[in-house]
Amino acid sequence: MEGVDIFFFLWASSLIFFMKAGFLALEIGQFRAKNVAYHCVLKLLDLAAVFTGYLFIGYGIAYGLSNIFPLITGNFDVSLGAWWMKMVMFDAAAVTIISGGVAERIRILPYFIGALIVGGILYPMVEHLVWGGGFANLGINFHDYAGSGAVHLFGGLIGLIAAYVLGPRIDKYINGKPRAIPGHNIPIAVLGAFILAFGWYGFNIGSAIGVEDGVELVSVALATTMALAGGIIGGALSSKNDPLYAANGMCAGLVAVCSGADLFTPIGAFIVGILAGIQQPFTYRFIEEKLKIDDVCAIGPVHAMSGLIGVICAGIPFLLKKGAEVSFIGQVIGATVIVLVAIIGGLIIYKGLDLTIGLRVSEEEEKTGLDTAILKVTAYSEE
């Protein structure tokens, strides 16, 4: 790599890292104040789990076990170090999605262990398939430029599986019917969405292999911007201007554009963003009412379904630039494999943790609030 490319990768890594603040704000705004400080601990610990697991084993699974020793000892090529910095942030993004589905009821220790296993083993397996040559070696033409499938479809499904194993919050269903549990701070949730959008430019633009002449970077930036706009519009339209659906719609559009960010035309990206934004309330109701999964922060529609939309749309020629060499069948096969890995792997990990050490806090702790019952602190001292 040239020096400018090294800087480019580290710039992208920094922006993706800051997305963590966006995830935190978006999620805590969508649930009750009594569990906010506890959720902050989960967010800190899953970050530490990913960084640790990815250094000691995850990167080796994704790109070759021979890379582990140089990384651990520090005797690595600068290009390897720069690539590791960017890709560990992708891993962190995939794993942190899980907390949005299991909020307000999961114990800290099993959450940390789950994040360590997912971030250190399961996600790197998917990363190997998508970016480490796995699908290519199998003859599958699968295109996922910035992770609609590898990061978001995977992370969203893992989070839904964990939420399914946990079961719903105590007061979520009354006589089998779901009831709304309003979030305590809409402005902070919307602020979180904006922080995520800011970091997403590093996520998508930073998926280029280098700076080169800048044409690819600008093309990706335009597609990202138009998908963002489409997601907001789609979320606002389908929810009759609900602020959370509009904010999550922005994120949904950004999720969906990732797969084909280098291939979508601006208008194609706009259409993809609208599709991702508009499906949210319908997908959320299906998950809540039919599957009986308590998806606290809507990771199903925002990440899993929007990720699937993005992967499939990256194989539809009329949304793409002329000459794009993609395969619709390849996109479908790749998405199917990612879905199977996430569902089967997620069930093994979280059901195993539930049967061995237990996933869920006690009923008394959940009713009291995890901040005071477990941490003995409150997030907002005025209360």
pLDDT band (50, 70, 90) for residue 1: confident
Strand, helix or coil at 230?
Answer: helix
pLDDT band (50, 70, 90) for residue 265: very high
Q: Which pLDDT value is given to residue 5?
A: 94
Burial classification of residue 111, based on how many CB atoms lie within 10 Å of its CB (0-12 exposed, 13-18 middle, 19 or more buried): buried
Residue 261 half-sphere exposure, CB side, CA atoms within 13 Å?
34
Q: Which pLDDT value is given to residue 2?
A: 82
Q: Which pLDDT value is given to residue 259?
A: 98
Look at residue 383 and tell me whether its pLDDT is greater than 70: no
Q: Mean pLDDT across the chain, nearest whole number?
A: 97
Tokens, residue 146: 């910035």
Tens of pLDDT along 148-207? 999 999 999 999 999 999 999 999 999 999 999 999 999 999 999 999 999 999 999 999
- Provide mean pLDDT across the span 296-302: 98
What dihedral angle (degrees, nearest 10) is formed by the CA atoms of 290, 292, 294, 297? -20
CA distance 243 to 236: 8
**Do 120 and 54 touch, CB atoms closer than 8 A?**
yes
- Helix H or strand E encompassing 319: none
Distance from chain centroid for Cα 287: 18
Beta bridge partners, 264, equal: 320
pLDDT band (50, 70, 90) for residue 146: very high
- Neighbouring CB atoms inside 10 A of 31's CB total 22
Q: Which pLDDT value is given to residue 382?
A: 65
- Provide mean pLDDT across the span 7-27: 97
188-214 in b/e burial notation, b at 16+ Cβ within 10 A? bbbbbbebbbebbbbbbbbbbeeeeee
Which residue matches tokens 């995520």? 196
343-362 in b/e burial notation, b at 16+ Cβ within 10 A? eebbeebbebbbeeeebbbe
Distances (CA, A) of 109 to 46, 115, 369: 11, 10, 17
**Do 313 and 259 touch, CB atoms closer than 8 A?**
yes
The percentage of the chain sitting over the pLDDT mark of 90, rounded to a whole number, equals 97
Distances (CA, A) of 66 to 60, 86, 116, 200, 334: 7, 19, 21, 31, 26
Look at residue 4 and tell me whether its pLDDT is greater than 80: yes
CA distance 379 to 372: 9
CA distance 151 to 251: 13
What domains can be seen in the chain, in order of their start residue?
3-375 (1.10.3430.10)
CA distance 22 to 42: 14
